[in-house]
Amino acid sequence: MKGKLVGMNGDRAVAYAAKQAKVDVISAYPITPQTIIVETLAEYVNNGELDAAFIPVESEHTALSAAVGASLAGARVFTATSSQGLALMYEILWIAAGLRAPIVMAIGNRALSPNINIHCSHDDAYAARDTGWLQFFAENVQEAYDLTLMAFRVAEDERVLLPTIVNLDGFILTHALEGLYVLEDAEVDAFLPKRKPINPIDPKNPKTYGPLDFTDWYMEHKRLQFEVYQKVGGVVREVFDEYEKLTGRHYQPVKTFNVEGADKAIVILGSSAGTARFAARKLAEKGMKLGVVSLTQYRPFPVAELRKVLESFDVVAVLDRSVSFGSPGNQLFMDVSTALYSSKKRPILVNVVYGLGGRDFTPLHVERIYAALEEVQRKGEAPEESLWVGLREG
């Protein structure tokens, strides 16, 4: 592991990465559990450690609006939010992506109300999934730091120019103190040179951004925007490879564990992947083989990579830390189902709901999921409804 070993929680690790990225503008409104991120950045600016404009706005809607303007002007821009804050930003999420503003935003993943809950669900990440933002999921504090640095590199690539979200589970990662390896400032400078804006706002050379788009051109413009996302996966892999050469830390869009020879697997996002791997090792000691597949890259969805991995299994549980009300499946489950639809060999898929509102996800829950997969495999068909694990019955 290259770098200096330090202790930080996830929020501070993200803020430190943004500082090393030498962001020009931070527009922020504090909301639990991401507040520590913007508080730390405010301290850096106040102490003279970071030469940036810190804009303390009156709402999350304004935070992202200011970020869009600053990004279009050519600045390297960072913001952060959670839950209801992202909901208030929602209108501007679409605008940031459509205007190709390469903002980086951290989300301390938190449940949406009601009832009011400040703990982890993936409601906010899923709410942003169709807006055009790229999304990465961190599994630990080290990944939160690394992915923040790489997010700037991907977002600002001339082939991409898209806003990017780094997700880290609320409290589980945002407030968890872990050891991580941080790079020297000079190394970050070499990996992440100063942004070179394309067609920035210039009062001497006025341009129109986001004009009225009628029926004769709107669809064509959306097609052009759509085509950009087809290039993103290749850029992400390039950045992951370059970062590995710099740090020795290997990243890939789809991460696998214990998949060789297994006929059952689970697909999962975020910090719970570590719990799943631990449980899979314990199951292996009992002669039971369970593969664990986690996604570092959530948007654009890594269809080809995931399909290649999952086609070898008989039955797969897809775990959602959220609920899509009224839908035949929850969010990640729908993505995985769509990715596998045209496969010649498709595993039976089981949708699992877990960990809502910060509910603990334990190795015992993984063992129960494994037992459910065994039953599905025996019957040869999936249950019609999602399986809820960790639910207090009665």
**Chain segment 201-223, per-residue pLDDT in tens:** 888 999 888 999 999 999 999 99
Nearest CA-CA partner of 324 in 140, 130, 172, 60: 130
Residue 44 forms part of a structural domain: yes
Q: Do 197 and 311 belong to one domain?
A: no
Closest to 268 in 3D by CA, of 209, 348, 193, 331: 331
Residue 283 lies in a domain: yes
Per-residue model confidence (pLDDT) at position 199: 85
Look up the domain containing 197 and give its range. Answer: 4-247
Q: What integer is the mean pLDDT of 33-39? A: 98
List the CATH number of the domain containing 304: 3.40.50.920
pTM above 0.75, yes or no: yes
pLDDT band at 1 (very low <50, low <70, confident <90, very high): confident
> Does residue 190 sit in the same domain as residue 283?
no
Residues 6 or more apart whose Cβ sits within 8 Å of residue 97: 131, 132, 133, 162, 163, 225
Residues 292 and 374 in one domain: yes
Mean pLDDT of the chain: 97
Q: Are residues 9 and 158 in the same domain?
A: yes
Q: What percent of the chain has pLDDT over 90?
A: 95
Question: For the segment 263-308, what is each residue's pLDDT rounded down to a tens digit?
Answer: 999 999 999 999 999 999 999 999 999 999 999 999 999 999 999 9
Q: Which of 230, 247, 264 is the last residue of a domain?
A: 247
pLDDT exceeds 90 at position 93: yes
> CA-CA distance, 59 to 123, in Å (whole number)?
20
pLDDT tens per residue, range 334-392: 999 999 999 999 999 999 999 999 999 999 999 999 999 999 999 999 999 999 999 99
Q: Give the pLDDT score at 33.
A: 98
| Percent of the chain at pLDDT exceeding 70 | 100
Residue 293, C-beta contacts closer than 8 angstroms, at least 6 positions apart: 254, 255, 256, 257, 259, 265, 266, 267, 268, 306, 309, 310, 316
Q: How many domains does the chain have?
A: 2
Q: What is the pLDDT of residue 79?
A: 98
Q: Is 202 exposed, middle or buried (0-12, 13-18, 19+ CB in 10 A)?
A: exposed
- The position carrying tokens 């080290």 is 142
Q: Looking at per-residue confidence, does 344 or 146 come out higher? A: 146
Domain final residue pick, 211, 230, 247: 247
Residue 285 Cα distances to 263, 279, 280, 289, angstroms: 16, 10, 9, 9
**Residues 278, 303 share a domain:** yes
Q: How far is Cα 30 from Cα 258, in angstroms, rounded to an integer?
A: 40
| Sheet strand arrangement including 53-56 | 53-56, 25-28, 77-81, 104-109, 164-169, 134-137, 297-299
CA 21 to chain CA centroid, Å, is 19
Give pLDDT, residue 237.
98
User: pLDDT band for position 394 (50/70/90)?
Assistant: low
Q: Please report, for the domain that includes residue 108, its CATH number.
A: 3.40.50.970
167 and 67 belong to one structural domain: yes
Q: Give the model's confidence band at 181: pLDDT under 50 very low, under 70 low, under 90 confident, else very high.
A: very high
Residue 55 has pLDDT above 70, yes or no: yes
State the average pLDDT over residues 233-253.
Answer: 98
- Per-residue pLDDT of 152-164, as tens digits, reads 999 999 999 999 9
Task: State the pLDDT confidence band at 56, using cuts at 50, 70 and 90.
Answer: very high
The Cβ-side half-sphere exposure at 149, using a 13 Å CA radius, reads: 31
What's the pLDDT at 2? 84
* Among the ranges given (194-203, 221-230, 320-329, 379-388), the one the predictor scored with the smallest mean pLDDT: 194-203
Place of tokens 């009011």: 116
Give Dmax over CA atoms of the chain in angstroms: 71
